[in-house]
Amino acid sequence: MKQIKSISTLKKECLKQNREGCVLLNYGLRSSKVIHFDPKEKKSWAIHHLIDDSTELLTEAEFKETNIAKAIKFKAFFLD
């Protein structure tokens, strides 16, 4: 697993391809997601939550408010 240390790094890793990643939680649990970034789209972030099979389409501003962005800040987001 590769630790993601910034949103800009995540953008590069997810540019025009799906990447599986996870937020590390307490007690060794993890919240798995599939992430895609396409700067040509208005809602440039697509996040598929594996726990409930839901998908979010987010703008850059919306993405910065997500748990993924918070996890990156606290060094708790990784890509497989």
pLDDT digits (tens, 9 = 90+) for 4-49: 999 999 999 999 799 999 999 999 899 999 999 999 999 999 999 9
Per-residue pLDDT band at 52 (split at 50, 70, 90): very high
Instruction: State how far the Cα of 15 lies from the Cα of 22, in Å rounded to an integer.
Output: 17
pLDDT score at 28: 87
pLDDT score at 16: 75
What backbone torsions phi and psi does residue 17 show, to the nearest 5 degrees? -150, 150
pLDDT score at 40: 92
Neighbours of 48 (CB within 10 A): 16
- Domain extents for the chain? 21-74
pLDDT score at 45: 97
**How many CA atoms lie less than 13 Å away from 51 in the CB half-sphere?**
7
